[in-house]
Amino acid sequence: MTPELNAGTLLNDLFIDTVSISVPLFRPELCFIATIVLLLLCRMLPLLRYVDSCGIALGGVCFAAWFAYVDFIGIGNQVGESLLSTSAMRQELFGGLLVFDSFTAFLRLVLAGFLILYIILTKLSGIPDREDGADFYSLVLGSSLGMCLMVSANNLLMVFMAVEMASVPSYVLAGMLKGRPASSEAALKYAVYGAGTAGVMLYGISLISGVLGTLVFPDISVEISRVLAAGGTSGSTMVLCLGGLMLSVGLAFKLSAVPFHFWCPDVFEGAAAEVGAFLSVASKAAAVALLIRVAFAFSMPESGAAVGMSGNLAALADSRHFVVYVIGLLAAVTCTFGNLAAYGQTNMKRLLAYSTIAHAGYLMMAVAAAVAMVTISPEGARDAVTAVAFYLATYLFMNLGAFGIVALLRNRLKSEEISAYAGLIRVNPGVVVAMAVVLVSLIGLPPLAGFVAKFLVFSSLVDAITTGAESPLMLSLLAIGGLNTVISLFYYLRVLKVMTFDPIPEDRVSEPFPFVSISGAMITGLVIPVVVFGVFWSGLYAAAHLAGAIAS
């Protein structure tokens, strides 16, 4: 105890850390909070009740996106000017609970950009209605706030808090369609599953913290290598493994990875398509980002700590091996199961749910490759993280486009069954072309963005194979990924087949919306990036590459 550590200096330090370092880099989240407060305030004051909550939410999100953009450009310029390594670009916030780096900045920008498009889409598709608007948007923004924290988590406790913060509003969102039993069922299933996995994850976190004596990410790898190098006779290795597996249960739930995916199809089918879009894009992006953060924490040697610890570093290789295999096996199973299960679906939202599961598998393959290469080839690891970031950015447009089309068609056709789309090409070719672009991009065919994303994932796997990082696993992941691409062709094409080849059903309720409309423009706006990023992807790749800098 040094004498100067009295309450006054402590408070002063805390104040300085919060106001001058943390808050300026926390502006997007603050925008979300302010918007939520504003939304709820408007509900209470009689005069302001007539203000459209969608407008408020959109305004708040635009501010958040602007700040996220400024932060991203700022960190991009820093890298460009000084060519600093990432460890120097890291900025720990709020006493090390959060971390701000290029990865945080990129994903926050993706999330905020998604929210802008998303809120416009919900306005056009009419869910939520005016009455529910304030509730809906405050839940969405609250959940997004949790996702921003997931993306920037730097502490296992923060991981739990962020996951819960992102999940709890989602449970309510799943039950938004109050009149429909399916929606309530979805919400209940989701909540029960979420609560269960959260409990397991929390238990895992406590086990890990018990063995390692720390919750802070940068310290975890140091402590792990110390514990493992000391020998596993004490049983601490076993506890550590168990803790890690339990932690991965919570993450796998958020990722909807097999075997923790059961909620996903039911929730997507029961909830509104708009909610499905939110869960499949934003929630997935945040979950993958968190997976990367946690996986790196358990496998990446802390730079600077390497001096005189070479023995301990070798011990860290065991931990890395474990992490890679857990993620790799989950990825292989998730991808294969998602694609096989999607084959039999008749409901479009269910099909997209399984497609989401499958894509989580592809994303996790790249994460596994990144972790495998983290010491052998930092550049390769960076490329793998880049692949993930790129994938998430393009996935935003593909999946939001798909769910948007489903939502807009639902308003006209009063159905979300695939069979209801029969012969749509004759009535509304524009929507079918847009859907074709989106689905073909999800298959991963050039010249669309989905192909580039898949290309980058596969190239990170090949990179891992050629550099000799966990080659056998990476080789089998590559084979499984390739095979899955072929399998996925079936069910995506089946939707297109129904839309184009099949005759118009007799009992069609009403005609779909005219494509030359605001809704059509929205869909076009979502589809054009899918094509543009498929052909001219240098710019987006450069941005994602910046985000990938956390690996090198």
Partner 1 sequence: MAPAENPAFWPLTLIVFLPALVAAVLSLPIFPKAREEIIRWITFATTAIVFLLSLWVAVPQFFGTAGAGQFVVGQPEMQGVVKLPWIESFGIEYLLGVDGISLPLVVLTTFISMLAIAASWPIKKHVKAYHVLFLLLETGMLGVFVSLDFFLFYVFWEVMLLPMYFLIGVWGGPRREYAAIKFFLYTLFGSVLMLIAILMLYFTSDVRLLSDEQLIATHVVQPAVAAQEISSIRSAESAIHTFNLMALAAVGQLPNSPFAATTVWLGMSLETWAFLLLLIGFIIKVPVVPVHTWLPDAHVEAPTPISMILAGVLLKLGGYGILRICYPICPGAGLSLAWLVCGLGVVSMVYGAFAALAQTDFKRMVAYSSVSHMGYVMLGLGVWSAVGGQEYRWDFWAQGVNGAMFQMLAHGISSAGMFFMVGVLYDRVHHRNLNEFGGIFSKMPVYSGLAIAVFFAGLGLPGLCGFIGEVLVTLSSWNYSRILAVISAFTVILTAAYILWAIQRVYLGAEYRGPHEDALKPMTPRELSIATPLVFLAILFGVAPQILFQYVTPSVNQQVETLANWTRDVHDGARKMIVAEAEQELSDGHDVVKGVQSMSDEIASRWAQD
Binding site for partner 1 (CB under 8 A): 379, 425, 429, 433, 436, 440, 445-447, 451, 455, 458-459, 462-463, 465-466, 475, 478, 482-483, 485-486, 489-490, 493, 497, 500-501, 516, 537-538, 541-542, 545
Rounded Cα–Cα distance for residues 282 and 255 (Å): 11
Map residue 257 onto helix, strand or coil.
coil
Q: What's the closest the beta carbon of residue 455 comes to partner 1, in angstroms?
A: 7
If the CB atoms of residues 245 and 487 are measured against partner 1, the closer one turns out to be 487
The dihedrals phi and psi of 98, each to the nearest 5 degrees, come to -120, 165
Q: What's the closest the beta carbon of residue 257 comes to partner 1, in angstroms?
A: 23
Map residue 92 onto helix, strand or coil.
strand
Exposure b/e, 42-75, CB count within 10 A at least 16 = b: beeeeeeeebebbebbbebbbbbbebbbebbeeb
Q: Show Cβ contacts of residue 338 under 8 Å, excluding neighbours closer than 6 positions.
A: 258, 261, 354, 355, 356, 357, 358, 359, 360, 361
Nearest to 424 by CA among 436, 432, 416, 415: 432
Q: Is 272 left (phi over 0), alpha (psi -120 to 50) or beta?
A: beta
CA distances from 259 to 6, 185, 199, 469, 533 (A): 51, 20, 17, 26, 33
If the CB atoms of residues 67 and 451 are measured against partner 1, the closer one turns out to be 451
If the CB atoms of residues 220 and 523 are measured against partner 1, the closer one turns out to be 523
Rounded Cα–Cα distance for residues 197 and 474 (Å): 28
If the CB atoms of residues 158 and 374 are measured against partner 1, the closer one turns out to be 374
The DSSP bridge partners found for residue 92 are: 99
If the CB atoms of residues 301 and 444 are measured against partner 1, the closer one turns out to be 444
Q: What's the closest the beta carbon of residue 19 comes to partner 1, in angstroms?
A: 39
If the CB atoms of residues 55 and 514 are measured against partner 1, the closer one turns out to be 514
Strands 98-100 vs 91-93: parallel, antiparallel or unpaired? antiparallel
Q: What's the closest the beta carbon of residue 489 comes to partner 1, in angstroms?
A: 6
Q: What's the closest the beta carbon of residue 506 comes to partner 1, in angstroms?
A: 21
Q: What's the closest the beta carbon of residue 482 comes to partner 1, in angstroms?
A: 4
If the CB atoms of residues 229 and 532 are measured against partner 1, the closer one turns out to be 532
Q: What's the closest the beta carbon of residue 111 comes to partner 1, in angstroms?
A: 24
Q: What's the closest the beta carbon of residue 256 comes to partner 1, in angstroms?
A: 24
Q: What would the DSSP string read from start to end of 139-196?
A: HHHHHHHHHHHHHHB-BHHHHHHHHHHHHHHHHHHHT--TT-HHHHHHHHHHHHHHHH
If the CB atoms of residues 353 and 370 are measured against partner 1, the closer one turns out to be 370
Rounded Cα–Cα distance for residues 254 and 357 (Å): 11
Q: What's the closest the beta carbon of residue 237 comes to partner 1, in angstroms?
A: 32
If the CB atoms of residues 32 and 458 are measured against partner 1, the closer one turns out to be 458
Is the CA virtual torsion 268, 272, 277, 283 positive or negative? negative
If the CB atoms of residues 210 and 482 are measured against partner 1, the closer one turns out to be 482
Terminal C-alpha separation, the chain: 37
Check if the beta carbon of residue 391 is closer than 8 Å to that of residue 347: no
Q: What's the closest the beta carbon of residue 445 comes to partner 1, in angstroms?
A: 5
